[in-house]
A and B are shown apart, each in its own frame.
Chain A
Amino acid sequence: METLIEFFSFEYPNIKYVVFGTILLSISSAVVGCFTFIKKKSLVGDVVSHAVLPGICISFLASGSKDPFLLIIGAFISGWISIVVMDAIIRNTKIKEDAATGLALSVFFGVGILLMTYIQHSGNASQSGLDTFLFGKAAALVGIDLLAFSIIAVIVLIVVFLFYKEFKLISFDPQFAKVIGLPIRRLEIVLTSITVLAVVTGIQAVGVVLMAAMLITPAAAARFWTNRLSKMLIIASVFGAFSGISGAFISYSTPSMPTGPWMVMILSIVALFSFFFAPGRGIVINQWRRFKIQQQLLEENLLKAFFKIGETNNDYFKEIEANDLRLARAFSSGQLTKGLRKLNSNGYVERVGNAWRLSKEGHDKGKRITRLHRLWELYLTKYLRIAPDHVHEDADTIEHVITPELESRLEQLLDYPTSDPHHSTIPGRN
Chain B
Amino acid sequence: MDAFIIILTGSLVAVSCALLGSFLVLRKMAMIGDAISHSVLPGIVIAFLLVGSLQSVWMIIGAGLIGVLTTFLIEFFHQKGKLQTDASIGVTFTWLFALGVILVTYYAGNAHIDQDCILHGEIAYVPIDLMYDDAGNAIGPKAVIVLSVVLALILVFITVFYKELFITTFDPDFANAIGISSARWHYLLMGLVSLTTVASFESVGAILVVALLIAPASAAYLITRDLKWMLMLSSLFGIVSSFLGYWLSYLLDGSIAGAMVTISGAIFGICYLVTVLKK
Spell out A's residues near B (CB within 8 Å).
37, 40-43, 45-46, 50, 89, 92-96, 98-103, 105-107, 109-118, 121-122, 131, 134-135, 208-210, 212-213, 215-217, 219-220, 223-224, 256-258, 260-262, 264-265, 268, 271-272, 275, 281-283, 286-287
Set of chain A residues within 8 Å of B217, measured between Cβ atoms: 99
* Contact yes or no, B38 A103, CB < 8 A: no
* Contact yes or no, B215 A258, CB < 8 A: no
Spell out B's residues near A (CB within 8 Å).
24-25, 28-34, 38, 77, 80-84, 86-91, 94-95, 97-99, 101-102, 105-106, 108, 115-116, 119-120, 207-208, 210-211, 213-215, 217-218, 221-222, 248-249, 252-255, 257-262, 264-265, 268, 272, 275-276, 279
Set of chain A residues within 8 Å of B31, measured between Cβ atoms: 43, 98, 101-102
Set of chain A residues within 8 Å of B81, measured between Cβ atoms: 224, 275, 281-283
* Contact yes or no, A213 B261, CB < 8 A: no
Cα separation A265 to B264 with both chains bound (whole Å):
33
* Contact yes or no, B28 A258, CB < 8 A: no
- Report which of B34, B106, B253, B258 forms a contact with A113, defined as CB distance below 8 A: B258
Set of chain B residues within 8 Å of A45, measured between Cβ atoms: 90
* Contact yes or no, B94 A264, CB < 8 A: yes
* Contact yes or no, B254 A106, CB < 8 A: no
* Contact yes or no, B211 A109, CB < 8 A: yes
Q: Which residue of A lies closest to B271 (CB)?
A: A93
- In the complex, 18 of the A-B residue pairs with CB atoms within 8 angstroms, ordered by the A residue number, are A40-B84, A40-B86, A96-B28, A99-B221, A103-B268, A106-B211, A106-B214, A110-B211, A111-B262, A113-B257, A114-B248, A114-B252, A116-B258, A117-B255, A216-B87, A217-B95, A258-B101, A264-B94
Q: Tell me how far the C-beta of B42 lies from the nearest C-beta in chain A, rounded to whole angstroms.
A: 11
Known: A102-B213, A111-B262, A213-B91. 4 other contacts (CB 8 A): A113-B261, A213-B90, A219-B87, A268-B95
Q: Tell me how far the C-beta of A326 lies from the nearest C-beta in chain B, rounded to whole angstroms.
A: 31
* Contact yes or no, B77 A106, CB < 8 A: no
* Contact yes or no, A50 B207, CB < 8 A: yes
Q: Which residue of A lies closest to B213 (CB)?
A: A102
Could you count the A-B residue pairs with CB atoms below 8 Å apart for me: how many are there? 218
Q: Tell me how far the C-beta of B71 lies from the nearest C-beta in chain A, rounded to whole angstroms.
A: 14
Cα separation A257 to B106 with both chains bound (whole Å):
7
* Contact yes or no, B91 A117, CB < 8 A: no
Set of chain A residues within 8 Å of B279, measured between Cβ atoms: 92
| B-side interface mostly | helix
* Contact yes or no, B91 A217, CB < 8 A: yes
8 closest cross-chain pairs (CB), A and B = A110-B261, A114-B258, A106-B211, A213-B94, A107-B265, A113-B258, A216-B90, A268-B95
Set of chain A residues within 8 Å of B272, measured between Cβ atoms: 89, 92-93
Given that A118-B253, A257-B105 are known contacts, is A213 also in contact with B98, CB under 8 Å in the complex? yes
* Contact yes or no, B82 A113, CB < 8 A: no
Q: Which residue of B lies closest to A108 (CB)?
A: B265
Cα separation A253 to B247 with both chains bound (whole Å):
47
Q: Which residue of B lies closest to A99 (CB)?
A: B30
* Contact yes or no, B258 A209, CB < 8 A: no
Cα separation A99 to B221 with both chains bound (whole Å):
11
